[in-house]
Amino acid sequence: MKTQPWQRDPEAYDFQFTITPLFFHLDVERHVNNVAVQSFHTEGRLRYLMNVSGADGIWCSDQVLLRPRRTVTQFLEETHYLTDVQCAVKLVAVDKDSCRFVIALFQNGECTSVQDCLMGAWRDGQWQPLPASLFDTLSARLGEVPELAPWPDFEAGPEADQGYPCRTPLEPRFIDQDTDRRLGELTIARYLEQSRVSSLDAMRLPGLGLLVARIDIHYLDWPAPLHSASLATGIAGFGNSSFRVHSGARVNDVLVGVCESVMVLMNREQRRPTPIDAAMRDAMAGSLVAG
């Protein structure tokens, strides 16, 4: 999935605000962590929706929950601490069952990441039509639709993780719940990050690092309460200097999210991609997705 030229232009968006990275957003690479970047995109859609339709039913609801069905986040540049980030949001599609946003982040005049997000309404354990009032409000706001890239060819069903060979148990925490006492969106992203990290030790060698180029998440369930969790991961394929990781997270033995991450092997000194050699491929052979 490639970014379109207009997505890198802040003037192409309908709604903008500034957000400040905090120190605890940093990871061991000393730039803003990928889930923290995703949290900025989440904040963008939330503020847009509150701006056009008010807070009621958007950020706190005991009835219909507005939640992402799928997000594809592309990381174009590193996001750094101590410099404000401009968050830009554009509504690009509305239908009876979903709405689609593009959210971009800009820092120091550069586009650092772009997210495509398909939102839906969740109630009684399944996706529902959008509330009529929200559908009407968003339809009235929808302007000219720009060119959009097709979604990546990565589908996910309720048993998608069965062929992922690396398994890790996880203990849910109180903080994993959101304001609706459901599993939080960013908690799912964090679980999937942990699943990916837990399976890549063979790629962590002196002088080498791993960067995330793209994260494609399908959100499948929003359980409450949280009793148990488990993670599953597998390598889905290698390129020259990149590889694809498939991850799944289960809560209460239900698959809540599945993810494809495109990772790039980097030479730390040169800050450039470096080839994945035969020894690394052999070391990861046991982690390949079955089938």
Do residues 68 and 185 touch, judged by C-beta distance below 8 A? Answer: yes
pLDDT along the chain (291 residues), means of 10: 92 97 93 97 95 67 86 97 97 96 97 98 93 92 91 91 93 92 95 90 81 96 93 95 96 97 91 91 90 68
**pTM of the shown model:** 0.95
Q: What is residue 59's predicted lDDT score, i.e. its pLDDT?
A: 55
- State the span(s) of the chain assigned CATH 3.10.129.10: 1-151, 153-291
How far apart are the C-alpha atoms of 95 and 174, rounded to whole Å? 35
Q: What is residue 60's predicted lDDT score, i.e. its pLDDT?
A: 53
Burial 258-290 (b: 16+ CB within 10 A, else e): bbbbbbbbbeeeeeebbebeeebeeebeebbbe
- Radius of gyration (Cα) for the chain, nearest Å? 19
CATH of domain 153-291: 3.10.129.10
Fold of 1-151: Thiol Ester Dehydrase; Chain A (3.10.129)
Do residues 167 and 231 touch, judged by C-beta distance below 8 A? Answer: yes
Q: Are strands 99-107 and 229-238 parallel, antiparallel or unpaired?
A: unpaired
Residue 181 burial by CB count (10 A; 0-12/13-18/19+): exposed, middle or buried? exposed
Residue 213 burial by CB count (10 A; 0-12/13-18/19+): exposed, middle or buried? middle
User: Which residue reads 């404000």 in tokens?
Assistant: 84
